[in-house]
Chain A
Amino acid sequence: MSPSPSALVRIHNVSKTFKRGAEEIHVLSDLELTVMEGEFLALMGPSGSGKSTLLNLIGGLDRPTSGQIQIGPDRVEQLSDRQLAAWRARHIGFIFQFYNLLPAVSAERNIELPLLLTGLNKTARRQHVAAALEAVGLTHRARHFPRTLSGGEQQRVGIARAIVTDPTVLLCDEPTGDLDRKSGDEILSLLQTLNQEHGKTVIMVTHDPHASARASRTVHLDKGQLSDEPAP
């Protein structure tokens, strides 16, 4: 399985099964998906269709029951836990629906978290954090704690945290799901800018057609299967 020059994510024959007691729940079945480098992909589907599970598999947060996941040259499902942690730190930027910021540290400290795992010194880390804050337009809120920020601002801190290490892929799990329309639009515009102007590959899970309209491609997931059209 050798990726074409512009294919960044290749998912081949991937299945995921959860066990609940004696019962086996098949969430994903023999899934095939390719995401090109620089693409903005929206992944839609009803609740429980396996969107987040697929995102977790791509991000190395979970392992497939079977199949292959290749991101760039790396076969994700073959990495050990330790290798996977280092791989995530280097290649993946996560953006969560509920922002998932540490409440007891400031915005800039939240953004700095992924940089702690790099060899950068304090000065370099500060420079990276400042650049990320500027990119999301929150320089003036650097020292604020999450509880003092609005939902939209918190999500922008979440995006700054995701891009501060310049990852290969941005994985967004319902990034506008907890925001009002105006804040949601701002976040989507930001993601579009990152995709179009900075060439970031973005994979976004959403159930909102308004959000998916910003993506360059939309795929639909239903009952563990992908299609280009929504299920009837």
Chain B
Amino acid sequence: MKFIYLVWAGLKRKKLRTGLTLASILVAFMLFAFLGAIREAFLGGVSMAGLDRLIVRHKVSLIQTLPESYKARIQGIAGVSAVCDQTWFGGIYQDPKNFFANMPVEPEAFLAMFPEFILKDAEKQAWLATRTGAIVGRATAERFGWKIGDRIPLQSPIWGQPEGQSQWEFEIVGIFDGLKKGTDTSSFFFRYDYFEEARQVDKGQVGWFTVRIADPDQAAAVAAKIDAEFANSPYETKAEPEGAFAQGFAQQVGDIGSIVMAVVGAVFFTILLVAGNTMAQSVRERTGELGVLKALGFTHFMVLVLVLAESCCIAILGGLGGLGLAWLIIASGNPVPGLLPVFYLPPATLVQGALLAVALGVVAGLLPAWQAMRLKVADALRRGT
């Protein structure tokens, strides 16, 4: 600890250069944190997916519907313990920009299938008692300022107008929260019986089924049985684990993980050069001072550690500053709730960022520190004067 002021003195020596290097590292780590949050927004569904859940959809595409009657047949397949259906409604609230997912479901089967959605019991009872009732996630309720009792009109370009009305209208009877931080609470669910009765097309059709299986280790076998059950029918199915389904959904946008890695890699390579150059320049300018330290009795190894500590100090200060700023900005709200239903900084990203900061400091400082260590005292004193 008694050497800390020497590290600090090295950093203070050229304040502008240290400041600019710190700023570069700070921006890089902010970017790292934002990309981590975006990656989580796209791929979070994969990690949140239930290991014991399958998604059964039309073999051709998700937008093709399946007969609702399949539910009973799936229920009868060995290894299946529960089934519930969902259908993409595509309802628009006031403006297409106000996007959020909305789907008709069977309340009890749905809530049993997705225990990650936390709904108060009184609100669940209200939903069961209200045909036009709907529940909405906390994120969307806060986004539009909705509260229980509000009547929400939606236009559906897919399903048209409900029978006898000009638009679909729902009453908010419950607001659900997520069990975990990354749980998506942007969706809006309403009752399938109301939807089935009021829609004027494709009656008896649903979008996809979520299937709970008794043994997660049998997921592939049960999926194969389901697909075999409906093979050679007009509505052939594709059953897959929920995680794989979520990943496929995210990859419609692109391979987010690889894109994020590529951007982060390029940014950090550049920052490594910036920080490495700063340290190299700093050591070059201080050749005489390092020679003096050695003349006073500092060993080669101590000088190496001092230079490395200086490099790590810049990287850690900049890194933690960037992560902290990003955390503050991300915690202040989702800038694009329609595009990213979940937007938060995962703790794992913070830990990775902190480790990356230390690694950046070590790698950027290694060569200059090695050069400082190898300086011969007499040469260093001669070159420094």
Contact = CB atoms under 8 A, between A and B. Distances in A.
A62 B378 contact: yes
Interface stretch (B65-73, B287-295, B311-319): B287-295
Interface string A112-134: 01101100001000000000000
Contacts of A90: 297
A102 B384 contact: no
Interface string A152-174: 00000000010000000000000
Contacts of A59: 295
Given A61-B378, A116-B3, A98 B385 contact: yes
Contacts of A213: none
A90 B341 CA distance: 66
Interface string B265-297: 000000000000000000000001101111111
Interface residues of A, number: 28
Max chain B C-beta neighbours (<10 A), residue from A61, A104, A113? A104
Interface in A16-64: 53, 56, 59, 61-62
Contact of B377 (A61, A86, A98, A114): A61
Contacts of A103: 13
Contacts of A116: 2-3
Interface residue tally of chain B, by bracket?
Answer: 20 to 34
Nearest to B288: A100
Contacts of B13: 103-104
Interface stretch (B4-12, B160-168, B198-206): B4-12
Interface in A199-221: none
Contact of A88 (B10, B291, B296): B296
B385 A89 contact: no
A228 interface: no
Contacts of A97: 385
Contacts of B114: none
A100 B297 contact: no
A100 B384 contact: yes
Which of B12, B291, B297 has the most chain A CB within a 10 Å cutoff? B297
Those 10 A-B pairs whose CB atoms lie nearest each other, nearest first:
A89-B297, A104-B9, A62-B378, A61-B377, A85-B299, A100-B292, A61-B378, A105-B9, A88-B297, A56-B378
23 contacts: A53-B378, A56-B378, A61-B377, A61-B381, A62-B376, A62-B377, A62-B378, A85-B294, A85-B298, A85-B299, A85-B300, A88-B295, A88-B296, A89-B296, A89-B297, A94-B296, A96-B385, A100-B381, A100-B384, A104-B12, A105-B5, A109-B9, A113-B293
